[in-house]
Amino acid sequence: MNKAEAKALILEVLGGIAPEAELDKLPGNAQLRDELDLDSMDFLDFVAAVHERTGIDIPEAEYGRLATLDDAVAYLVR
């Protein structure tokens, strides 16, 4: 998966969780939970959906590595 594919997937998943968000204006370094007003369950839904779509296991200890759009893209591309 390249960066463009990872970003598109993440934005698609976030669009399902926060449909009112203007994802095209989401800065890469913005904290997803703060910027999109995601609560704990929303963030867990995000992680679960990314896992389902990619098959990449994301241990709870690594959830912090998905804090921003840029972080999440880098995590998926690694």
Q: What is the pLDDT of residues 19-44, one digit of tens each?
A: 999 999 999 999 999 999 999 999 99
Q: What is the mean pLDDT of residues 3-17?
A: 97
- Give the pLDDT confidence score for residue 69 in this predicted structure: 97
- Give the pLDDT confidence score for residue 61 in this predicted structure: 97
pTM: 0.91
**Domains of the chain, with CATH numbers?**
3-77 (1.10.1200.10)
Residue 44 has which token pair?
A: 């867990």
Q: Which residue has the tokens 């989401």?
A: 26
3-class DSSP assignment, residue 66: helix
Distance of CA 50 to the CA centre of its chain: 7
